[in-house]
Structure 1
């Protein structure tokens, strides 16, 4: 695991392989390994001939834990990703984010269009625009002394996941209270790079795929049959859609 300083915040990252770069940004309460390595994404992309760079978002994994909610804005986390690209001297890359990572990827794409050659927004679709509720319930679930105190079904699921990833729950509570900012349709409509949107058919967190693709000019959408927010991330159909999308952008490096 490597680290660099992002405007005073220590950010952890990993990289594998060689070829055209793709930057991976994980979801809430996850980390590089849970979101990308354990789901075989790293293996899939490196075998496809890509240089894979993955970031631990602030408050997650091996990155610095912050307890002030205002330090967790999605634009600020997008700046962490851009500074990682600067640190690694990556001029331009494909960016792929899952769930919260998709929101961060969207801000990265909108704020620094010259740095993003293509974007893949997964695990978050129309709710990127309309918003995702339940943030305070999730925060309270994370702050509860024990799981038995958590009665809200969705919040309980996030608490269980945070415990499974051995996360700093206090940092995550601060994060969830500020990171779920809605994105204005006109901002997304200004995106000009190729975009792929992927979400599970039963993913209530993500919302409707067409609700996002209809806003972004030329965006492609893929709905994963019988998949929800938690099990879509490692889906073979998701991987196949991404590889097909990437092949249309450039020829991978020879292995």
Structure 2
């Protein structure tokens, strides 16, 4: 499975690229490009590589839940990063020995896995990360009913149904993605990244409840709280400035 991506090189690039992973039922343009993240990273000498997750952006529809499992999705992300960095080297002449990652919401949950399977991740910024797995709590039958007009008993199912049935969303593929991710629930207590990691949470984001306990499991982790709820936190200037400052620090 190949994923769509866009590359934004810096004029005076002297640092490894930054990978940007968006949230569920969103896309790279909504979460990062329309608000100027690529330009902010470029100003600091960093190229930006945005990747659209499966069933999002301009990626093709999903045909089964199995192709959207966490393992399959993480593999596709890493393959896409390799392709993007190779193209960056050809176009700019800059050869990166690694990369940093900024992930938000679902993007943060998938970014968590990257250092566990790749030695090239230098630093992580995980924004809006839920310490518990919402997808495994979604009953597929109830979700299908909600999408056809049946009132669900679960508020979470209702919320997911509203998200994936919004205009211009690939509802069927997003439903398969939920099922695929649920086959491998997020279990951060089993294995944690050892690279320097910054958690960013909105002051009114209920989805990140328990993030302090999660961060305590990591050997090199810190937490920054910024204004806003789950969506507003991503767009806050505090999030962006803190993330870029963190990624600019020396690797250790």
Identify the TM-score tier after normalising by the shorter chain.
0.7 to 0.9
8 Å Cα contact 1:143-1:169 kept in structure 2: no
8 Å Cα contact 1:73-1:179 kept in structure 2: yes
List gaps (5 residues or longer) in structure 2. Answer: 87-95
| Aligned equivalents of 1:152, 1:40: Cα separation in 2 | 36
Q: How far does the alpha carbon of each residue in 1:121-170 deviate from its partner, in whole angstroms, 9 at most, with x for none? A: 11104x1xx33364237972796146x96786554544444455612010
List gaps (5 residues or longer) in structure 1. Answer: 1-8, 251-255
**Please, what TM-score do these two structures have when normalized by structure 2?**
0.82
8 Å Cα contact 1:200-1:223 kept in structure 2: yes
| Aligned equivalents of 1:142, 1:224: Cα separation in 2 | 37
**Matched residues, number:** 234
8 Å Cα contact 2:139-2:157 kept in structure 1: no
**Please, what TM-score do these two structures have when normalized by structure 1?**
0.81
Deviation, structure 1 residue 241: 1.1
Q: Map 1:20-35; keep pairs closer than 5 Å.
A: 20-35=16-31
8 Å Cα contact 1:35-1:233 kept in structure 2: yes
Q: Map 1:78-117; keep pairs closer than 5 Å.
A: 78-88=74-84, 89=86, 91-112=97-118, 114-117=119-122
Partner residue of 1:40 out of 36, 55, 64: 36
Q: CA RMSD in A?
A: 2.6
Q: Once superposed, which parts of structure 1, at least 4 consecutive aligned residues long, lie more than 4 Å away?
A: 148-161
Matched residue of 1:177: which SS? helix
| Aligned equivalents of 1:138, 1:17: Cα separation in 2 | 45
1:213 aligns with 2:208: no
1:187 aligns with 2:183: no
1:169 aligns with 2:171: yes
Q: How far does the alpha carbon of each residue in 1:84-138 deviate from its partner, in whole angstroms, 9 at most, with x for none? A: 12213254100111111111111111111x110111111104x1xx333642379
**Residues 76 and 106 (structure 1 numbering): CA distance in 2 closer, same or farther, change over 3 Å?**
same
